[in-house]
Structure 1
Amino acid sequence: MKGLRTLISGTRPATTAVAETGRTPLEFEGVRKAQGAQAKNRMIIAIACFGVFYGAIGARLVDYGLRSPETVSSIQRPDQLLVSRPDLVDRNGEVLATDIRTVSLFAEPNKIIDPDEAIELLATVLPDLDMRGIHRKLSSNSRFQWLRRQLTPKQQSQILSLGIPGIGFRPETRRFYPGGPTASHVVGHVNIDNRGIAGMEKYVDGQGLGDLAAAGMTVNEDMKPVQLSLDLRVQHVLRDELAAAMDRFKAIAAAGVVLNVHTGEVVGMSSLPDYDPNNPVEALQKDRLNRMSAGTYEMGSTFKAFTTAMALDSGKVSINDSFDARGSIRIGGYTIRDFHGKNRILTVPEIFIYSSNIGTAKMADLVGIEGHKEFLTRLGLLTRMQTELPEVATPNQPPVWKKISSITISFGHGVSTTPLQTAVAAAALMNGGKLIEPTFLPRTVEQADQVAVQVIQPSTSKSMRDLMQMNVAKGSGRRAEVEGFRVGGKTGTAEKVVNGRYDSSVRFNAFLSAFPIDNPQYVVLVVIDEPKPEEGKTSATAGLNAAPMVSAIVRRSAGFLGVKPEFGNGSQELSLTY
């Protein structure tokens, strides 16, 4: 009974449990231990996986932290911009060109979710966007596309607030010209990538800056300014007077230069119509040519100064010689006459003062064809001028010089050269006979002497100064006179070629001058293209329009140039006798 109670109470014998489950107690214990070991292994594996995963993330974050910021996803640090341009300043330190910070808009098309929506949002800030072109860019598979260069801060802020994925900004530099068009043809301009493509901006790139920019190099400090020889005050006066003359004489163009005769420095140079380098697309218009250095013209009677200097320097003509200027010269089917002929024998000074074509031609004939060509070449009037400015034209001359060529060239027809070259050659006539290549950078007298070439005798230079002074005192240049500043000069009224023939009603006028003429410091040359007669007048010669232009320029700029006026009887008397 006792065994029965035990059995009934539920305490089964081991043999019964084994019979029911087929396992012993020791086997149950082994299963429990195996299951625990598996769970522990799974935990270790899970922890290891999480460790590897977060370790990879951490390593990636460290990698990103050590990398330089990428320009395709965010605004670059200011010290990682592409190489900046140096400021351009005038001889007194006034800024002519400088860099300002700006940003440009770009897209990463592979990150754009909805191109149509992105375009609609951008159009709210930039309504003038090329929608079709932008849609094509945003729908491409590329990783980078420019959308708009050089945004304003306001535009950048408005686009940022739109929150468009895949749209970013890249910092850039933009060139700014405080003086606008004042010195545009000398200073030049840059393209959208801030690379110099005209004027002194292009010259600066040619000195190595362009190579740095092409290599994508960066700078962390401002570059030293590049100083030019220009005086911004003189430049303003020159441009202002050219603009006034264009309006007064209804001309299509005007240009001028102020040149230091002892150093070759261009202190002022302007050509109108000009353009604003802040909007350089204007420079592409055909009438915006830099006429002073990139245009060639027949300089008319201003060339008589070179013919006279040639004749005197050759020794075949003296200042006291005379030539028969009666009638006309008939050669090669052409008849050469004087504009206002005196119809008498003229001395050399009279030939210069009265601008006699006949007398000048006869002096050239004495020198001869080869001597004439050699002299003009010696003065740099027949070859391409060397200077920093890239826009320089090559003069035109006859392929074969004949007698008719020498005669017409003697009074300024038959050879086309740049006005700047004419001024440079004239400086040699005024400074004692030294030809000095022009420069748009500062240059001392000592530095100029190292590159100067003696092209005429000092005595010839002295005679030419006297002749130029006499022409303003008694000849066609009277309207260039400025009391106290002793201006000397020579007029030039050249007929322009229209439909293959010279047209006496269409003229290119010039006035070539120097001051103070007894000890010249500066050459001033102005040209005016197709001037019209003033109201009430029937003529539009250089003495009536170009000469007054020089007078106004000298009067307003002499003080800036350090030339002091002299009044009374202090000036030298003319030494010419005839």
Structure 2
Amino acid sequence: MRNRLILAMTAFAAVYLVISGRLVLLATMTPSTPIHYLNPGEQVSHARPDILDRVGNVLATDINVPSVYAEPVKMFGIDDAIEELRTVLPDLDPADLRTKLSSDKQFVWVKREITPSEKAAIHALGIPGIGFMEENKRVYPAGPITSHILGYVNIDNQGIAGFEKHLDTEWLGALHDAGLARNTPLEPVRLSIDLRAQHAMRDELMAAMDKFHSIAAAGAIMDVHTGEMLAMVSLPDFDPERPVEALQKDRINRMTTGVYELGSAFKAFTTAMALETGRIGINTTFDARSPIRVGSNTIGDYHAENRIMTVEDIYIHSSNIGTARMAMAVGVEGHKAFLRKLGFFDRMTTELPESGAPIVPERWREVNTMTIAFGHGMSVAPIQAVAAGAALINGGRMIPPTFVPRPVELADMMGEQVISQETSDKMRYLMRLNVTKGTAKKANVPGYEVGGKTGTAEKVVNGRYSSTKVLTTFLSTFPTSDPKYLVFVMLDEPQGIKETYGYRTSGWNVAPTAGNIIARVAPILGVVPELAPVASDGPLSVSY
């Protein structure tokens, strides 16, 4: 018993000796990352989840980079230290650094996010009180391609704009505030965006800007059955790793933040409204023989037909007169109610925080209904036209757009029936007819049954419509026999060129641009082209 007692005492003494030694060691050692020294406003950048596209391509990720800090209370010979630091980091402000190092603080940043070679050079200087901390730096492998979707972060790795800001607002910010995820790996976040389609659209829009000498361009691709955004581009864009570029006034996201009069593309909604009444059909006629005079205003046609026209004629010839008469047949209140149902009276909300509010008339009179019918007098964000346009051809369901994957079942639950299936079928017919016989012939892509509506709007400059500056748009879908995607394209101030015989209207610029985009993205998105008809004994051909 005595031997057992001595053995037990010895064991307990050994355990307590180990614990005591560890406590002494922890009390005397200097922490490698003195986070508890940080003063207010001197945060350490937090970890963020990777952002992936719908097929797994990395759009945003964190890398570890060194930052250099100082502990002023441990330093001496400050002027010498400053001179030595500036041999490695010549952009340091000596006056600012002297103020920092002369304080009685325990921690100040010298410079955030330096290179490994700069860290090695500073370490070799052996300056007392200078240390290093590993931080998280956000990088964007796709560069500017997805900049208006992803947004950017600040130096503390906090989301400032775009989807990055959405992450912080929804859950990431609270997680970091609780101190639960500074360096913890987080589950990747997947977007609905397809990087391949995004690149193709951006490439074609850049080519169109250059070709037609436009000051800006924008476009989007949306799954009409789920509301998922497959691509969204706004040019000029910016490098998200250089956020200062995003502050330039021409770098706004024109798809979500800018609001515009969309011109004749808006006639698609007016036509759907008229057909939805049940009193007006595709063969119903309206008098377009002469311009409409309303007070001091005259409503005329760009290429006047000067005849009585059916709804089908009005659509494919893009008659302002006929469209205005259609809207008046529905009435002012009916017109307002229909546009409100399509969401044109409200700010569009998505995962991207930035959004523009529609501009509607304060007093809505008959003349407003007439002009808004053909796309003048009401400004909306293009993404609103995308969402409403999808409802015209997907069976009549208004589905909110989203930048994250959404199952069809959930989309069905969220969708609101705004027009009937019958009206939607008629709109698909008219859209296809407009590409085969109307103003959008140059958008045709063999094998993909493209349909749509072109629009050319004179821009408002200093309160007046300009005769020299236009905004061209094209709202399109493919394939019209079984619509899967909606493609929207916009060019800001395109110019007439020799190839277009000096014309700058949408049929000459955004329509062919949309056709080029569809030809490139359709195979990427898995849309099989329709087989071309051939003789029974001839070779089999296919458009792709």
Q: Would you say same fold, with TM above 0.5?
A: yes
1:512 is matched with which residue? 475
Structure 2 matches for 1:169-318, cutoff 5 A?
169-218=132-181, 221-318=184-281
Q: Select 1:445's aligned residue among 401, 404, 408.
A: 408
Q: Is 1:494 equivalent to 2:475 in the alignment?
A: no
C-alpha distance after superposition, 1:382-432 (max 9, x if no partner): 211121111111111011211111111000011100111101100000100
2:342 is matched with which residue? 379
1:88 is matched with which residue? 51
Q: Is 1:539 equivalent to 2:539 in the alignment?
A: no
CA-CA distance at 1:342 after TM superposition = 0.5
CA-CA distance at 1:214 after TM superposition = 2.6
1:338 is matched with which residue? 301
CA 1:89–1:58: 2 relative to 1, 3 Å: closer
Q: Take 1:174 and 1:313, find their aligned partners in 2: how far apart are those partners?
A: 53
Residue 156 of structure 1 aligns to a residue in which SS?
Answer: helix
Q: Is 1:370 equivalent to 2:333 in the alignment?
A: yes
C-alpha distance after superposition, 1:87-117 (max 9, x if no partner): 0000000000000001211112222212211
C-alpha distance after superposition, 1:245-292 (max 9, x if no partner): 010011000000000000000000000000011111111111000000
CA-CA distance at 1:138 after TM superposition = 1.3
Structure 2 matches for 1:452-463, cutoff 5 A?
452-463=415-426
C-alpha distance after superposition, 1:212-260 (max 9, x if no partner): 2233334564211100000000000000001000100110000000000
CA-CA distance at 1:149 after TM superposition = 0.7
Structure 2 matches for 1:34-49, cutoff 5 A?
none
Residue 237 of structure 1 aligns to a residue in which SS?
Answer: helix
C-alpha distance after superposition, 1:278-323 (max 9, x if no partner): 1111111110000000110001000000000000101231111011
In 2, are the aligned partners of 1:82 and 1:213 still within 8 Å (CA)?
Answer: no
In 1, are the aligned partners of 2:477 and 2:485 still within 8 Å (CA)?
Answer: yes
Paired AA for residue 180 in structure 2:
M
Count of paired positions: 510
1:54 is matched with which residue? none
Residue 388 of structure 1 aligns to a residue in which SS?
Answer: coil
Q: Select 1:562's aligned residue among 521, 526, 531.
A: 526
In 1, are the aligned partners of 2:46 and 2:135 still within 8 Å (CA)?
Answer: no
Residue 258 of structure 1 aligns to a residue in which SS?
Answer: strand
Q: Select 1:429's aligned residue among 383, 388, 392.
A: 392
Q: Take 1:275 and 1:286, find their aligned partners in 2: how far apart are those partners?
A: 12
In 2, are the aligned partners of 1:483 and 1:567 still within 8 Å (CA)?
Answer: no
Residue 395 of structure 1 aligns to a residue in which SS?
Answer: coil
In 2, are the aligned partners of 1:72 and 1:170 still within 8 Å (CA)?
Answer: no
Paired AA for residue 353 in structure 2:
P
Structure 2 matches for 1:61-76, cutoff 5 A?
61-64=24-27, 70-71=33-34
2:380 is matched with which residue? 417
Q: Take 1:213 and 1:195, find their aligned partners in 2: how far apart are those partners?
A: 10
1:117 is matched with which residue? 80
Q: Take 1:67 and 1:460, find their aligned partners in 2: how far apart are those partners?
A: 74
Residue 151 of structure 1 aligns to a residue in which SS?
Answer: coil
In 1, are the aligned partners of 2:166 and 2:351 still within 8 Å (CA)?
Answer: yes
Paired AA for residue 455 in structure 2:
G
In 1, are the aligned partners of 2:219 and 2:488 still within 8 Å (CA)?
Answer: yes
Q: Take 2:352 and 2:51, find their aligned partners in 1: how far apart are those partners?
A: 14
Q: Take 2:317 and 2:444, find their aligned partners in 1: how far apart are those partners?
A: 17
In 1, are the aligned partners of 2:45 and 2:137 still within 8 Å (CA)?
Answer: no
Q: Take 1:90 and 1:362, find their aligned partners in 2: how far apart are those partners?
A: 46
Q: Take 2:379 and 2:35, find their aligned partners in 1: how far apart are those partners?
A: 53
Paired AA for residue 546 in structure 1:
V
- Percentage of identical aligned residues: 53
Q: Select 1:99's aligned residue among 62, 81, 87.
A: 62
Q: Which consecutive unaligned segments of at least 5 residues does structure 2 have?
A: 1-19, 38-43, 535-544
CA-CA distance at 1:521 after TM superposition = 0.3
Residue 179 of structure 2 aligns to a residue in which SS?
Answer: coil
In 2, are the aligned partners of 1:361 and 1:410 still within 8 Å (CA)?
Answer: yes
Residue 406 of structure 1 aligns to a residue in which SS?
Answer: helix
Q: Take 1:374 and 1:278, find their aligned partners in 2: how far apart are those partners?
A: 44
Q: Take 1:507 and 1:385, find their aligned partners in 2: how far apart are those partners?
A: 24
Q: Is 1:553 equivalent to 2:530 in the alignment?
A: no
Residue 370 of structure 1 aligns to a residue in which SS?
Answer: helix
**Which region of structure 1 is more displaced relative to structure 2, 113-122 or 458-467?**
113-122
CA-CA distance at 1:67 after TM superposition = 9.2
1:392 is matched with which residue? 355
CA 1:511–1:70: 2 relative to 1, 3 Å: closer
Paired AA for residue 549 in structure 1:
T
Q: Take 2:129 and 2:459, find their aligned partners in 1: how far apart are those partners?
A: 60
CA 1:146–1:332: 2 relative to 1, 3 Å: farther
Q: Select 2:107's aligned residue among 137, 144, 151.
A: 144
Q: Take 1:504 and 1:358, find their aligned partners in 2: how far apart are those partners?
A: 20
Q: Which has the larger radius of gyration?
A: 1
In 1, are the aligned partners of 2:67 and 2:133 still within 8 Å (CA)?
Answer: yes
Q: Which consecutive unaligned segments of at least 5 residues does structure 1 have?
A: 1-56, 75-80, 571-578
Q: Is 1:478 equivalent to 2:441 in the alignment?
A: yes
* TM-score, normalised with respect to structure 1: 0.85
Paired AA for residue 249 in structure 1:
F
C-alpha distance after superposition, 1:486-512 (max 9, x if no partner): 100110000001222111210000011
CA 1:226–1:60: 2 relative to 1, 3 Å: closer
Q: Take 1:59 and 1:437, find their aligned partners in 2: how far apart are those partners?
A: 59
CA-CA distance at 1:63 after TM superposition = 4.2
1:351 is matched with which residue? 314
CA-CA distance at 1:65 after TM superposition = 6.4
Paired AA for residue 230 in structure 1:
I
Q: Is 1:163 equivalent to 2:126 in the alignment?
A: yes
In 2, are the aligned partners of 1:72 and 1:108 still within 8 Å (CA)?
Answer: no
Paired AA for residue 568 in structure 1:
A
Paired AA for residue 522 in structure 1:
Y
**How big is the alpha-carbon RMSD for the aligned residues of Structure 1 and Structure 2?**
2.0
**Which region of structure 1 is more displaced relative to structure 2, 560-569 or 250-259?**
560-569
Residue 301 of structure 2 aligns to a residue in which SS?
Answer: coil
CA-CA distance at 1:58 after TM superposition = 7.4
Q: Take 1:326 and 1:254, find their aligned partners in 2: how far apart are those partners?
A: 36
In 2, are the aligned partners of 1:109 and 1:142 still within 8 Å (CA)?
Answer: yes
